[in-house]
Chains A and B, each alone.
Chain A
Amino acid sequence: KAGVTQTPRYLIKTRGQQVTLSCSPISGHRSVSWYQQTPGQGLQFLFEYFSETQRNKGNFPGRFSGRQFSNSRSEMNVSTLELGDSALYLCASARAGPRDEQYFGPGTRLTVT
């Protein structure tokens, strides 16, 4: 069974730009969660999608948004990038939601300069 894939793996952007990250979950998994990981704040929950609907959202500003497609693939978008957005962005797929085992992708390392 193929694992969770994320693209791109690395990104360098400039302050003020926007970025879109992609996540393909494990086949059959309908839930995708996104997390931001930084050395200072650890793993922080961004949002969770199930069947194209955002079910849960963490405490992040509106610049962070996402969506899920009918094939369960998900994208997250960050607009008007700030230096503090530099982080590893991880997506995790699960069969039905975070109450199940979550399988993490390798992450996208975003650097904002």
Chain B
Amino acid sequence: QQPVQSPQAVILREGEDAVINCSSSKALYSVHWYRQKHGEAPVFLMILLKGGEQKGHEKISASFNEKKQQSSLYLTASQLSYSGTYFCGTLNVGNNDMRFGAGTRLTVKP
């Protein structure tokens, strides 16, 4: 089952902050965040694992609430380069087929 992302789209001015949420109805092993710019391949941002381990870029922060099966990606002091579509991918406990959310389109304006 696909995770649910919110919001679907957000528009920011440079320097503003944004939060993107991802939730699942199933017990999660891990949440993965990717950013895709138009016409390009998705790029890895971060993995959050059950148990608290995180792997990813230093400038990106995220949280994973295991009890609620929810993750949030925090984009602070946004830059123009942050524009793109953000996807969360989830791996459920017990299997390895990644399910992606529908994406959140982030636009950062000058």
Contacts and interface: CB of A to CB of B under 8 A. Distances in A.
Indicate whether A and B interact. Answer: yes
Interface of B is mostly: strand
Question: What bracket does the count of chain B residues touching chain A fall in?
Answer: 20 to 34
A21 to B, nearest CB: 14
Interface of B: 2, 29-30, 32, 34, 40-44, 47, 55, 87, 89, 91, 95-103
Interface of A: 4, 33, 35, 42-45, 48, 55-58, 90, 92, 97-107
Contacts of B97: 45, 48, 56-58, 98
Contacts of B29: 99
8 contacts: A4-B41, A42-B103, A43-B89, A48-B97, A98-B97, A104-B42, A106-B41, A107-B41
Given A45-B100, A92-B42, 13 more contacts: A42-B2, A43-B42, A43-B103, A45-B98, A55-B96, A90-B41, A97-B96, A98-B96, A98-B97, A99-B47, A99-B91, A102-B98, A106-B40
Contacts, number: 57
A99 B43 CA distance: 15
A42 B101 contact: yes
Contacts of A103: 44
A16 B30 CA distance: 39
